[in-house]
Amino acid sequence: MKYVFNEPWRFVLKVSPNIIDKARIRDHELEARMRDIENYIEKNDLNGRRIKLVYGKAYRWWKSVSDEKYNERSPLKNKPITRILDELKYDTIHA
């Protein structure tokens, strides 16, 4: 591909290397303390309380667990009622 500009003096080609020149300074003591706090919260099941304090509303952690049975595909989904009745009639006759 070739690009041609009407006014090439407006554009300057600048090539810069893709090198990471900055690194974040890490505080290992702070990270260890944060890990301890997260482990304490997980161990004592305090996530719901923490989220309620931070966001001001209740977090329903049990909802994702209880909805697993509803996530399965229903055999009746997207089928017309006539087809369902025909299959039911066939099953009762041949059973």
pLDDT tens by residue, 6-38: 888 888 888 888 887 788 899 999 999 999 999
Range of weakest confidence among 10-19, 41-50, 60-69, 70-79: 60-69
Phi-psi region of 14 (alpha: psi -120 to 50; beta: other; left: phi over 0): beta
- CA neighbor of 85 nearest in space, from 76, 73, 94: 76
Tell me: pLDDT of 94 over 70.
yes
Q: What is the pLDDT of residue 69?
A: 57
The answer to whether residue 81 is domain-embedded is yes
Buried/exposed code over 76-87 (b: 16+ C-beta within 10 A; e: otherwise):
eeeeeeeeeeee
The answer to whether residue 9 is domain-embedded is no
The answer to whether residue 1 is domain-embedded is no
Q: What is the pLDDT of residue 75?
A: 73
The answer to whether residue 88 is domain-embedded is yes
Q: What is the pLDDT of residue 62?
A: 56
Tell me: pLDDT of 87 over 80.
yes
The answer to whether residue 37 is domain-embedded is yes
The answer to whether residue 2 is domain-embedded is no
The number of distinct structural domains making up the chain is 1
The answer to whether residue 18 is domain-embedded is no
Q: Which residues contact 48 (CB under 8 A, 6 or more apart)?
A: 58, 59, 61
No. of helices (H) and no. of strands (E), the chain = 4, 0
Of the two residues 27 and 68, the one the predictor is more confident about is 27
Q: Domain of 76?
A: 27-94
The answer to whether residue 80 is domain-embedded is yes
